[in-house]
Amino acid sequence: MPLTVLEGSTFCICDELGDLGAETTGFFAEDTRYLSVFRVAINGEAPLLLSSGRTEPFSAVFYLRNPLVRDLPQDALLLVRTRFVTDVLRDRLLLENGAAQPLDLDLELELGCDFADIFTVKEHDFWLGHPLDPPPLPPLVPCRWDGSGREAWLDDEDGSSTHIVLSRPGTPAEGRVTYRIVLQPHERWELFVDVLPSTEEGRVAPRQDEQRFGDELARAVDAYAAWQLRIPHVRTSNEALGKSFHQSVSDVAALQMRSRESGGRLPAAGAPWFMAIFGRDTIITCLQTLLLGPQLARTALDTLAALQATEDDPSIDAEPGKIVHEVRRGKAARRWFPRYYGTVDATPLFLVLLSEVWRWTDDWELVNRLKEPALAALRWIDEFGDRDGDGFVEYARRTPRGLENQSWKDSWDSQRFHDGRIAEPPIAPCEVQGYVYDAKRRMAELAREVWREPWRAERLEHEADELQRRFDETYWLPGRGCFALALDGAKERVDSATSNIGHLLWSGIVLPERVDRVLDCLFDDDLWSGWGIRTMSAADVAYNPLSYHNGTVWPHDNSLIAWGLARYRRWPELHRLSRAMFDAAPYFAWELPEVFSGIRRGESPFPITYPTASRPQAWAAGTPVLLLQLLLGLEPDRLRARLVTTAPAELPQWVGNVRVTGVRAFDRVWDVILEDGNVEVVPG
């Protein structure tokens, strides 16, 4: 299985030996592969695996033994390969003679790079790409060695470059460097390898000895530990809850990338192919993880505001006020777009996040600083999002290179009628209307409380009320007891039953008299798999438990549905859904994936892996964090500047006892204690 180590948008995919060389392995920075071959051989043969794995999200260790070649007895030589990634790749190769006699051997490193963009590499992925007909990879660039045999350069014709620095001089040949080594009994020998990409941010100095390697690794470990110290600590008798939460914290830390636009860090979407800003994914992850503190969300808001579209540009699906969908760097930016705006929901969700951060922090300065981006987003909703003036926000791509579907279910076949037909655009997804309703309600609150514009607040509240009324009239499906997935270009209701209706609970657009029917639909056996709520009902023709958006279970989707259940105080259903997610977690080594199969619980004794699922993936990592918050009923009370609980008087026994220390809200620290089913919030 491939192993990925990452630090923000810089990452390495290798095999279990630590080698690079397969079509989809490599060292990547700024969406470009800067090293595609890095193999180690002993006397011409690959070493044998003892054990390997990640030690931190950004580091890994590979324990290897010698192959049975040329005068090397079995298990005479131990090779320990230690790797970590910051903005560069650093390796230490440690050889130790475990035999009673001297060992005479050749250590060979093979090096090369094709400087392929990340999209070309992804097309060779067996599951996510088109491996039977992928675009050809660029040819390997030969190494250019200096006279000492310690430094090499790989140079692409477009100016991209990789600098390789070795701590010892070797004997170079094209694409290889060899070391002739004689080890006495129990003697050790080590080599440090630095791989330095020349990115848009410039070159990085090499670190060429044991002390510097250790210091650099220690700094990375310390930075990771510092992040963990700043966030709440959880102790619990519930193993699944505790281990899932801790894994989520680790994944969120690993996925943080530096923001060029505003400084600070914000979540990338997912490893390995989506280590970039994705507006929707970034926003939802920040909403899910406010329990960890507001800093990621603040950085995301400032960054997305800086990237907000200011012009009408059909070639990138941009309109003034629209929040970006995807940002790419390097060669990938030239192949795809540096910025692409094909998302219908990131703009209202940006407003939801701004409001939610304010509710947790009472940060008036942030709300005032982002007033103009917020007003521009509102104008986009009314002037561009509502393409035909019918009061609903819809999408249709304007560039032939853009995404066909621009809601969170963005696969080409996700908008399906009950009879299996594919809906034609423009498409107005149901959940987006809910996001708009919620955004206008929240912006009315900010207009009244912060901007001191009661006239704007009244107008937004009126628009939200009217949207709620018209949405209920237009989208409700009496025969199915749920809301339609969308309206198509002919204003026909796309009448499949999907998980999207749960997002409507989260936004609050569902009228009270509809809630029971919506819950009946969500927890009917056709949508409820036993491991979570499926993306599409088994009663619909297009249902397939292995279809990306038409029958699988998405943890983040379920977490937002759970948030909706909490909003309507439907605690039994919330507990049922949360328990299903935590029951699934152990089968994925406590790391919930982006998506897993919708095969019914009972038909299989465990949830079935979906082969293309990103792990770690940002909004999947955010799911246990949000579920813990919801189980404890934690909500900010801005008027009293305190954290409160709305949890019912007695939680189910399966939740166990929980203690959360160091929750930050309103520049204060709070502790949350769940004991014998009762939740208490106290100042920390």
Same domain, 205 and 235: no
Domain count, the chain: 2
Domain boundary among 223, 242, 269: 223
CA–CA separation, 210 and 139 (whole Å): 34
* Last residue within a domain, chosen from 223, 249, 266: 223
CATH code of the domain in which 63 resides: 2.70.98.40
Calculate the alpha carbon distances from 430 to 230, 471, 508, 515 in Å. 38, 8, 13, 15
Tens of pLDDT, residue by residue over 573-608, are 999 999 999 999 999 999 999 999 999 999 999 999
- Asked if 657 contacts 674 with a C-beta cutoff of 8 angstroms, the reply is yes
What pLDDT sits at residue 314?
Answer: 97
Question: Mean per-residue pLDDT for 305-334?
Answer: 95
Burial class (CB in 10 A: 0-12, 13-18, 19+), 604: middle
Average pLDDT of the segment spanning 566-574: 98
Q: What is the CATH number of the domain that holds 466?
A: 1.50.10.10
* 3-state SS record for 626-653: HHHHHHCCEEEECCCCEEEECCCCCCCH
In a domain, 417, yes or no: yes
Residues 357 and 373 in one domain: yes
Q: CB of 223 within 8 A of CB of 258?
A: no
User: Residue 42 has what DSSP assignment?
Assistant: E
* pLDDT range class, residue 679, cuts 50, 70, 90: very high
Q: What band does 203 get if pLDDT is binned at 50, 70 and 90?
A: low
86/120 same-domain check? yes
pLDDT tens by residue, 85-106? 988 999 999 999 999 999 999 9
Same domain, 215 and 247: no
Examine residue 122 and state whether it is found in any structural domain, yes or no.
yes
Q: Is the pLDDT of residue 142 over 80?
A: yes
- Specify whether 205 is located in the same domain as 323: no
User: Residue 677 falls within a domain, yes or no?
Assistant: no
Is residue 567 very low, low, confident or very high in pLDDT (cuts 50, 70, 90)? very high
pLDDT band at 666 (very low <50, low <70, confident <90, very high): very high
The per-residue pLDDT for range 515-552, each reduced to its tens digit, is 999 999 999 999 999 999 999 999 999 999 999 999 99
Looking at residue 449, its pLDDT comes to: 97
Element (H, E) at 85: strand 77-85
Clarify whether residues 427 and 518 are in a common domain: yes
Indicate whether 122 pLDDT > 80: yes
Q: Is 639 within the bounds of a domain? A: no
The two structure tokens encoding residue 187: 């003697």
How high is the pLDDT of residue 51? 97
Segment 268-293 mean pLDDT:
94
Sequence-separated (6 or more) residues with CB below 8 Å from residue 483: 430, 475, 476, 477, 500, 501, 504, 510, 518
Let me know whether 184 and 241 are in one domain. no
List residues bridging with 181 in a β-sheet: 105
Same domain, 219 and 270: no
pLDDT of residue 368: 98
Three-state secondary structure readout of 384-410: HHCCCCCCCCCECCCCCCCCCCCCCCC
653 in a structural domain: no
56 Cβ contact partners less than 8 Å away, ≥ 6 residues apart = 84, 220, 221, 224
Separation of alpha carbons 91 and 249, rounded Å: 26
Q: Answer whether 478's CB lies under 8 Å from 514's CB.
A: no
Residue 459 lies in a domain: yes
Residues with Cβ within 8 Å of 288's Cβ and at least 6 positions away in sequence, in order, are 556, 559, 619, 622, 623, 625, 626
CB count within 10 Å of CB 598 equals: 29
28-49 pLDDT, tens digit per residue, is 999 999 999 999 999 999 999 9
The secondary element (H helix, E strand) that includes residue 49 is strand 48-56
User: CB neighbours (10 Å) of residue 417?
Assistant: 20
Question: Within 10 Å of residue 379's Cβ, how many Cβ atoms?
Answer: 14
Residue 189: Cβ-neighbour burial (10 angstroms; 0-12, 13-18, 19+): middle
pLDDT of residue 124: 82
Task: Give 393's contacts (C-beta < 8 A, 6+ positions apart).
Answer: 344, 348, 381, 385, 386, 428, 432, 433, 436
Q: Domain check: are 560 and 431 in the same one?
A: yes
Percentage of the chain surpassing pLDDT 90?
83
Other CB atoms within a 10 A radius of the CB of residue 397 amount to 16
**Looking at the DSSP assignment, which residues form a beta bridge with residue 604?**
601
In terms of pTM, does the model score above 0.85?
Answer: yes
Q: Which amino acid is present at 94?
A: L
The answer to whether residue 652 is domain-embedded is: no
- The predicted pLDDT at position 205 comes to 54
Element (H, E) at 130: none
Could you tell me if residue 203 is inside a domain?
A: yes
Q: Are residues 143 and 245 in the same domain?
A: no
Domain final residue pick, 198, 223, 248: 223
**Helices (H), strands (E): how many in the chain?**
16, 31
pLDDT tens digits for range 228-266: 778 999 999 999 999 999 999 999 998 999 898 888 899
pLDDT greater than 80 at residue 462: yes
Q: 560, 506 in Cβ contact below 8 A?
A: yes
CA 17 remoteness from chain centre: 26
Q: Which residues pair with 429 in a beta bridge?
A: 486
Average pLDDT, the chain: 93
- Supply the range of the domain harboring residue 141: 3-223
N-to-C CA span, the chain: 44
Instruction: Give the pLDDT score at 602.
Output: 92
Q: Are residues 171 and 287 in the same domain?
A: no
635, pLDDT greater than 60 = yes
Q: What share of the chain is helix, strand, coil (3-state, %, to 5)?
A: 35, 25, 40
**pLDDT score recorded for residue 158:** 84
Query: 496 and 617: one domain?
Result: yes
Q: What is the pLDDT of residue 531?
A: 98
Summarize the confidence of residues 565-573 as an average pLDDT.
Answer: 98
Position 131 pLDDT exceeds 70? no
Contact status, residue 196 vs residue 88, Cβ threshold 8 Å: yes
